[in-house]
Amino acid sequence: MKDPMESHGLIVNLVAGITLAFFFGAAAQRLRISPLVGYLIAGVAVGPFTPGFVGDADLAMQFSEIGVILLMFGVGLKFSLADLWAVRGVALPGALVQMTAATLLGYGVGALMGLGAAESIMLGFSLSVASTVVLLRALEDRHMVKTENGRICVGWLVIEDIAIVLAIVLLPTLAGFANGDSGGLPLTAVLSTLAVTIGKIGVFVALMLFVGARFFPWLIVQIAHLKSRELMSLGALTLALGIAWVAYELFDASFALGAFLAGVVLNGSKFTHKIAEDSLPLRDTFAVLFFVSVGMLFDPMTLVREPIGVLAVVFIIMIGKSAAALAITSLYKLPLRTGLMIAAALAQIGEFSFVLAGMGVRLELLSEDTYNLILAAALISIALNPLLFALADHISDKRDRGPAEVPPQAAV
């Protein structure tokens, strides 16, 4: 008789992951903590480092790959070139300077921990990008998505996401340099190969922005004329997954970049809102499974073995990045409220930190121990992020009120 785990492994893992994510996510929400923490803990519960049921890590990683594709597609659908252009003066230099500062801080901490140069840089770079999911939920809770502060925060994180996407694309080639695996080729030949890869990616981006931006919205309109909600949803999903596959298979780009550009070219369509709304349940489901799969790789004993390391990484995320953001916004003479909101928004890490760190492990640039430090710090920073937003609101409100006014009757 077949073992149910073998014959129905996909269903068993799907049920376990979604069920535990629901219960832990609901518990986190009740405790006024981000549900993402609950999803990560659900992954820990079915991971190999805790007793009881152990999920299939290979299946989980496949779910996570689809989750990344759909997450990037969703980011692309929200990505407005016009909105980004409006805040370019702050978002572009701010994001780049803040990412550089976080990377340097991570490099410093890694060096003090005895890590190699490549691993220290990967540690810092993985900590440099905040979670768009966490930010958008925080802004939506405060009805700030369409405000000036909200646009600056989102623009800032979009720049970070683009930088991470480019890093994901180039990381395998750069890993060959770091590991000394250049196939015995001279440096000029390796650089030529890298230039060809970048050129192919550039061709793909150009095709998407100049050809795809005209063809795919027209295609969505034709699908809409069929007056079938199911076909509309399937059409959008086909574009997201199909373009991601084409980017990977034909242009040596990443699934993430392909899915992101699929969302970008559909952003200008009059059906953008409908596509985003119809695809949201599927995107949310696979995003949850992505966080569960990440949690499966986390060893909770890291908190016991490396408490100083965890605290150092949390310090970079919550203090170092926030301080850099405040310094940049002060330099641009932005209001204190704006600076504090951006600082709070950046004081966490999420989905793309996990993607980048996971690639680092697979490419042997990061050790499992360092990866676990990143996951531990992510759990802590995401859990504490709502408190930072509340603190930012409190300081801003207190500053806006100014000194206590003398009551009218006292003045008389």
Query: Does the residue 247 lie in any domain?
Result: yes
Question: Which tokens go with 313?
Answer: 């990484």
pLDDT in tens, 226-281: 888 888 888 888 988 899 899 888 887 778 778 888 888 888 677 777 787 777 78
pLDDT at 407 over 50: no
298 is in which domain, residue-wise? 8-399
Query: Does the residue 329 lie in any domain?
Result: yes
Query: Does the residue 406 lie in any domain?
Result: no
pLDDT at 410 over 50: no
Distance CA 98, CA 308 (A): 24
Query: Does the residue 127 lie in any domain?
Result: yes
pLDDT at 367 over 80: yes
Query: Does the residue 409 lie in any domain?
Result: no
Whole-model pTM: value is: 0.76
Question: Which of 249, 252, 251, 319 lies closest to 109, judged by CA?
Answer: 319
Can you give the pLDDT at residue 190? 59
pLDDT in tens, 141-179: 777 766 777 778 878 887 887 777 777 767 776 676 666
Q: What is the mean pLDDT of residues 367-380?
A: 88
pLDDT category at 80 given cuts 50, 70, 90 is low
pLDDT category at 52 given cuts 50, 70, 90 is confident
Domain count, the chain: 1
- Type of residue numbered 234: L
Q: What is the mean pLDDT of residues 69-88?
A: 75
Query: Does the residue 317 lie in any domain?
Result: yes
Can you give the pLDDT at residue 248? 83
Distance CA 146, CA 157 (A): 15
pLDDT in tens, 283-321: 788 878 878 887 887 888 888 888 999 999 999 999 999
Alpha-carbon radius of gyration of the chain:
22
Distance CA 206, CA 265 (A): 11
Cβ-based neighbour number of residue 197 at 10 Å: 17
146: domain CATH number? 1.20.1530.20
Per-residue buried b or exposed e for 102-125, using 16+ beta carbons within 10 Å of the residue's own CB: bbbbbbbbbeebebeebbbbbbbb
Do 73 and 82 meet the contact criterion of CB atoms below 8 Å apart? no
Query: Does the residue 1 lie in any domain?
Result: no
Query: Does the residue 408 lie in any domain?
Result: no
Q: Hey, CA dihedral for 104, 110, 114, 116, is it positive or negative?
A: negative
